[in-house]
Amino acid sequence: MRKRILIVCLASTLAACRTMTPLSCAPGAQALIEDRLFFGLSRPDGGTVDDAQWQAFLGDEVTPRFPQGLTVVEASGQWRSADGSLGREPSRLLILAHADDAANEAAVVAITQAYKRRFAQEAVLRLKQAACASF
């Protein structure tokens, strides 16, 4: 029974990620994808990603892939680990608005993989949703 529930949940999650519901945007607005990427700054060796390292990452990995613009917000992350303890760390939230196409999808994935490799991170949280944008 537990296995069946897991399979149903996984299938539902994958289906939701695979197909974004097209939005009906108001006149003057366009449908885009909004990606929010959460980067923890604590490193496994006990250090942290400092401002110079973060700026270098943005310059090397993010800006070349999204030269049209981006937003970075300083944040404080918090989560409950598998052992029940509460974890906290300084974080950066990267917000990207872009067309829903294969090139942008690949660029976002490449950014998350580059961060994990460069700073020995287990994960980068990604929230992806359809949005309407106007300028």
Domain boundaries in the chain? 25-133
CA-based nearest residue to 97, from 119, 73, 130: 130
Asked if 125 contacts 108 with a C-beta cutoff of 8 angstroms, the reply is no
Q: How many CB atoms lie within 10 A of CB 26?
A: 8
pLDDT for res 21: 63
Q: What is the mean pLDDT of residues 124-135?
A: 96
Domain with residues 25-133, CATH architecture: 2-Layer Sandwich (3.30)
Residue 4 has pLDDT above 50, yes or no: no
Specify the amino acid at residue 49. Answer: V
Q: Which residues of 91-129 are buried (b: 16+ CB within 10 A; e: fewer)?
A: bbbbebbbeeeeebeebbeebbebbeeebebeebeeebe
Interval 51-96: pLDDT, tens: 999 999 999 999 999 999 999 999 999 988 889 999 899 999 999 9
What is the pTM assigned to this prediction?
0.81
